[in-house]
Amino acid sequence: MSKTLSSYKNIEIADFTYNLPDSKIALYPLQNRSESKLLLWKNGQIREEVFKNAASYLPENSILVFNNTRVINARLHFQKETGANIEIFCIEPVKPSEYELNFQETEKVTWKCMIGNAKKWKEGTLAKQVEIDGENIKLAANIISQNKNSFEIEFAWNGGFTFSQIIEYAGVLPIPPYLNRKTEQSDQKTYQTLYAKIDGSVASPTAGLHFTGEIFGRLSEKNIKTQEITLHVGAGTFQPLKTSNVLEHTMHREKVIIPKQFIETLAETKRKIIAVGTTSVRSIESLYWLGVQIENNTFSEDFHQVMQWEPYQNTSNIPVQKALKNLVCFLDETGKNELQFSTQIIIIPGYEFKIVNGMFTNFHQPQSTLLLLIGAFIGNEWKKAYNFALANNFRFLSYGDSNLYLKE
């Protein structure tokens, strides 16, 4: 462990907790999400606003960055001949490993999964009937391998339908476990953002759930540009920190796709960059460290990734524009119009933000990596903000109210 990283050893998870009564957790969204409360934090000043007026609080000529991932029906329920119920929770594709290619397969695919009631399924094939467009399709699942609590599962089916169609008809939308209720028909709409396009997430980038067509119109009137990127949210986003010290936590890895045109804009612009959601924050900040890899000749041209502790172990301090231009040059040389990579980056107090100037985000669970990220952005002010929200009846977590954090 480097000296730089060891300086973070005093960050205790217990310092990032607060009392969250069940009554404060929103089990359903408001009928009109734009009427949600908005906690506006700007350079240490806090006030309560309404989300529908969010555009009026943003710097003119800023760029708002949205994560356009779409939540898939990742929970598949099977029943063994013995009557035992087995749930397979699809986490990420293994074969093919590219989401788009995997969803286009018409016979079989392999996914990394978690299994509910796994002790009841040691071997053998699980099968269920799925009706698609009037046809009865047989979907079969087999365990290929196991690695601790995760499994590689092969799914096979007949009928010539794509796996995207299979999972859409056979699966259930995975709402957050802390809601302590089953998925309802209304969640199919309310748990997707207005701009969700690219299948792959097992959790919604919920900061974006508040945006409506009317709000997008107001952004345009104020000359606030919008940009879409893709980060497929993994199940790790719901996992509370189970270690006493942050250095002992292993961060989950997620797939990111960012258009070359946006990286070019970032390299040239002086506009303020406002991320919608922590997924957008992690994606954008990861770009800098990939550019540093190119500068240091540690960039893999085959498999691009940002490791968990890379920002804290790297002694390079090149300008942001230089790092981003390195990425643009790489994309020019390889003829690519987008950058695909994985990020495991963890953003904790002490992290120096390179690109992001502000963020929309919901209220997060105690002792979560997402709360640590907020602490990294506004320091101990997060306690002041959360205490204000609790005292003023804000609604918490995925279906709750929103925050906007802005720094000069």
Burial (0-12, 13-18, 19+ Cβ within 10 Å), 14: exposed
Q: Is the pLDDT of residue 331 over 60?
A: yes
pLDDT of residue 115: 96
pLDDT of residue 16: 93
Residues 93-105 have pLDDT tens digits of: 999 999 999 999 9
Domain boundary among 141, 172, 203: 172
Domain boundary among 144, 172, 200: 172
Does residue 44 form part of some domain? yes
Q: What is the DSSP string of 197-208?
A: -EEEESS--GGG
Number of separate domains in the chain: 2
Q: Are residues 95 and 7 in the same domain?
A: no
Does residue 186 form part of some domain? no
pLDDT of residue 3: 47
Q: Are residues 229 and 359 in the same domain?
A: yes
For the sheet with 171-172, list strands across it.
126-132, 135-147, 150-157, 108-116, 85-95, 75-79, 171-172
CA–CA separation, 166 and 157 (whole Å): 8
Structural domain containing residue 133: 74-172
Q: Are residues 86 and 48 in the same domain?
A: no
Does residue 107 form part of some domain? yes
CATH number at residue 27: 3.40.1780.10
CA–CA separation, 382 and 368 (whole Å): 13
CA–CA separation, 253 and 232 (whole Å): 10
Q: Are residues 356 and 323 in the same domain?
A: yes
Distances (CA, A) of 233 to 62, 71, 198, 259: 25, 8, 11, 18
Q: Are residues 248 and 321 in the same domain?
A: yes
6 against 381, higher pLDDT: 381
Q: Are residues 253 and 304 in the same domain?
A: yes
Query: Percent of the chain scored above 70 by pLDDT?
Result: 98
Does residue 181 form part of some domain? no
pLDDT of residue 316: 78
End-to-end C-alpha distance for the chain, whole angstroms: 34
Helices 278-295 and 260-268 meet at what angle, rounded to 10? 80
Does residue 184 form part of some domain? no
Q: Is the pLDDT of residue 50 over 80?
A: yes
Q: Are residues 48 and 160 in the same domain?
A: no
Q: Are residues 111 and 52 in the same domain?
A: no
Does residue 182 form part of some domain? no
Q: Are residues 389 and 301 in the same domain?
A: yes
Nearest to 112, CA basis, from 102, 120, 127: 102
Measured from the Cβ of residue 344, the count of other Cβ atoms closer than 10 Å reads 18
Q: Are residues 38 and 150 in the same domain?
A: no
Q: Are residues 139 and 288 in the same domain?
A: no
Q: Are residues 147 and 288 in the same domain?
A: no
123 against 402, higher pLDDT: 402
Nearest to 46, CA basis, from 357, 389, 282, 400: 389
pLDDT of residue 70: 97
pLDDT of residue 2: 47
Is this model's pTM higher than 0.85 or not? yes
Does residue 47 form part of some domain? yes
Does residue 164 form part of some domain? yes
Residues 253-269 have pLDDT tens digits of: 899 999 999 999 999 98
CA–CA separation, 262 and 68 (whole Å): 14
Phi–psi pair at 228, nearest 5 degrees: -110, 135
Query: Percent of the chain scored above 90 by pLDDT?
Result: 84
Q: Is the pLDDT of residue 35 over 60?
A: yes
What confidence tier does 243 reach under pLDDT thresholds 50, 70, 90? confident
